[in-house]
Amino acid sequence: MVDTEWLLDWSSGALKPGFRPLIDGYLSLNPEAREAAALFDRLGGSLLAEADPAPLSPGATGNVHALLDQAPGTESPERQSSHVNQTITGQPAGNRQTAGDAFAALPEAMHACLTGRERTLRWFSPSPWFSIRRLLPRGQAAAGPGGFLIRVAAGHSIPSHSHGGTEMTLVLQGGYSDCTGQAKRGDLIIHDPSINHQPIADPGESCIVATAFEGPLRLTGRFGRIIQPFFGF
């Protein structure tokens, strides 16, 4: 199970927004972690119940209403369905996958990340076996860790890289291995900036992960340095 410090931050609301969708997905896939998070919620509720009440700041109610008015709208189910059934191009023969398949790999708790036109699941494919797309809209990602979905064909790898801050990765489908070990569906892997790795998808099934990270992504291999300018991070 992931370190309880992350679950405490999730429960208290202190977790950075870019990491929250991954913890949401992790909890939906791991009953033991979900029970621990529920315990922290109950403890937090007890502490709030015992705390002395405090008056709202002036204009608090109006600020909440303004935030609700700014909430993005949603499209009709028919329109959303037309988005998520687009085909991901550039995949090797016999290894093609629809965007709907990739969307289905997301735990339901993470679907809120893909609102409106973000449900298009349009992928950037720098190679026939590697595709990437933003998990969070650019505006939201700019305020904290950037979130992405990554798909790697079975037996292939992504470019070697490191990060300027914490990297969090949730395995949604298949599995992969790197210099730190192996990961499978439901695993949440957290790396610090000292890790320079090149994940390789397990054979037999394409690997889909959701990842979020702080600071700049540093592609360290020759191929990575060539494609880095096209990623926009």
Residue 43 falls inside a structural domain: no
Residue 56 falls inside a structural domain: no
Residue 166 falls inside a structural domain: yes
Kindly report whether the global pTM for this prediction surpasses the value 0.95.
no
Number of H helices, E strands in the chain: 8, 11
- Total domain count for the chain? 1
Q: What is the pLDDT of residue 127?
A: 80
Write out the E strands in the chain: 124-127, 130-134, 146-152, 161-163, 167-173, 175-178, 181-184, 188-191, 200-201, 207-213, 217-219
Terminal C-alpha separation, the chain: 30
Residue 46 falls inside a structural domain: no
What pLDDT tens digit does each residue of the chain (233 aa) get?
788 889 989 888 888 888 988 999 999 999 999 898 888 888 877 777 777 777 878 887 888 788 777 654 444 333 333 333 332 323 333 344 444 556 667 887 787 666 444 455 567 787 888 888 887 655 554 556 778 889 999 999 988 888 888 999 999 999 999 999 999 999 999 999 999 999 999 999 999 999 998 888 787 866 666 666 655 55
What 8-state DSSP symbol labels residue 53?
P
Q: Which domain holds residue 202?
A: 77-231
Residue 95 falls inside a structural domain: yes
Residue 17 falls inside a structural domain: no
**How many angstroms separate the Cα of 49 from the Cα of each of 13, 40, 67, 143, 184?**
17, 14, 26, 32, 40
Residue 15 falls inside a structural domain: no
Query: Residue 130's domain is classified under what CATH number?
Result: 2.60.120.10
**How many angstroms separate the Cα of 147 from the Cα of each of 12, 78, 103, 150, 168?**
21, 26, 15, 10, 9
Rg (C-alpha) for the chain, rounded Å, is 19
Residue 20 falls inside a structural domain: no
Tell me which residue of 22, 5, 25, 7 sits closest to 167, measured CA to CA.
22
